[in-house]
Structure 1
Amino acid sequence: MVSDRVLTLPNVLSLLRLVLVPVFLVLLVQGEDAWALVVLSISSVTDWLDGFLARRWNQITRLGQLLDPAADRLYIFAALIGLAWRDLVPWWIVLVVVGRDIFLLALGIILANFGFGPLPVHHLGKIATFCLFYALPMIMLGQAFPQLEWWSQPVGWAFGLWGAFLYWWAGIVYAGETMRVIRLPRGAPGVSSDTLD
């Protein structure tokens, strides 16, 4: 059951992740890749821990459902911007990923105008996010430890390009689902503003 509580340990951990985003970005822009990876590792552990505790202690909250994906996206954006700032990844990759999230924001506005909440997360979106989450640290790893660059860079780029492709594929799936939902008559079985939260 989803609650409206605010002050829970999982939410505090999610807030900690958000607070660490600018720290991560500054370290990355300054070329402190090893320390940036440490911050990213702490964020990854707290990401797993807040989800585990929320389920274990029955502390799943609406705020937590907003904070968790927001932190994920901000880390991806921060990593992309930091690496692009240093000319380690091209800016078009940043535009591809950010453009897709702007596209999803537009879909969310359309759904809200028709009285629906956000669409459920599609498995393609989860796979794409995982690929990007894996790719960016791998690229950073090669910068922090040049002796690992020979394998971390190709692996990182493979996951990064595949993740960007899947990110947009999932976006197209969301667009199709949005069009399907808004064409359904109001009050149709299985369709309400609650079912899409």
Structure 2
Amino acid sequence: MKLFFKAENILNVPNIISFYRLIMFPVVLILALLGVERWFVILFCINLITDIIDGFIARKFNLVTNFGAALDNLADIGTYVLALLGVFLFKWQDFKPHAWLLYLFLAIFIISYLVAFIRFGKIPGLHLYGPVIAGYLQGAFFFVLFVWGFNLWFYYVAVGWGAMAYIDKILVLLKTDDIRPGLKGIYWVMKEKK
């Protein structure tokens, strides 16, 4: 079995920040389940901000690693779980009339991870342009939602873009045999194949 993370410097600032998000997951989860909305919002928003910071530092200072991509991906999944839990516990009345788009996005999101697992036997830490932009949009949306309240047009932009981005991810997973950091999207994968 090939050592996936061999020869990578995994002890770096972006990975430490991603690890912080992972260890904060159970704390924020417990706060949500206990109904402590104020502290849930504060710590959840810190997680959103650190998600932006870790990726920026990794790219800016050339600290991108396979381990870091996988760690960030796991932390991102935790952030999605917390965001959805916060929506259902604290903001569901705002979402309820527009829930169909959220359900559509969640179905596509889950299918993308199933395709990755079926195709590659693991969940790769792909950071394609579409899902990265979707993550920023959705992070900003959730920040606005929990700090200032529900904004309908922002919801449709963030979740609609997310659905399209994860369709792009599914297409990439179906078209490439080489999952690696640096893949950008289906357009670039198809361009490489020509």
Q: TM-score, normalization: structure 2?
A: 0.68
* One-letter amino acid of the structure 2 residue matched with residue 137 of structure 1: F
**Where in structure 2 are the equivalents of 1:1-197 lying within 5 Å?**
3-55=7-59, 58-86=62-90, 87-88=92-93, 89-90=95-96, 95-112=103-120, 118=124, 121-142=127-148, 152-154=149-151, 157-181=152-176, 192=178
Q: Which runs of 5+ in 2 are unaligned?
A: 184-194
* 1:120 to partner: Cα distance: 5.2
Could you say what secondary structure the match of 1:6 adopts?
coil
Going from structure 1 to structure 2, the CA distance change for 1:36 and 1:160 (only over 3 Å counts) comes to same
What fraction of aligned residue pairs are identical, expressed as a percent? Answer: 23
Could you say what secondary structure the match of 1:153 adopts?
coil
Quote the Cα distance in structure 2 between the aligned partners of 1:8 and 1:195.
17
Going from structure 1 to structure 2, the CA distance change for 1:44 and 1:193 (only over 3 Å counts) comes to closer
Structure exhibiting the larger radius of gyration computed from Cα positions: 1
Q: TM-score, normalization: structure 1?
A: 0.67
Ranges of 4+ aligned residues in structure 1 off by more than 4 Å:
55-58, 91-94, 117-120, 192-197
Contact 1:80–1:94 (CA under 8 A) maintained in structure 2: no
Quote the Cα distance in structure 1 between the aligned partners of 2:14 and 2:182.
23
Going from structure 1 to structure 2, the CA distance change for 1:124 and 1:6 (only over 3 Å counts) comes to closer
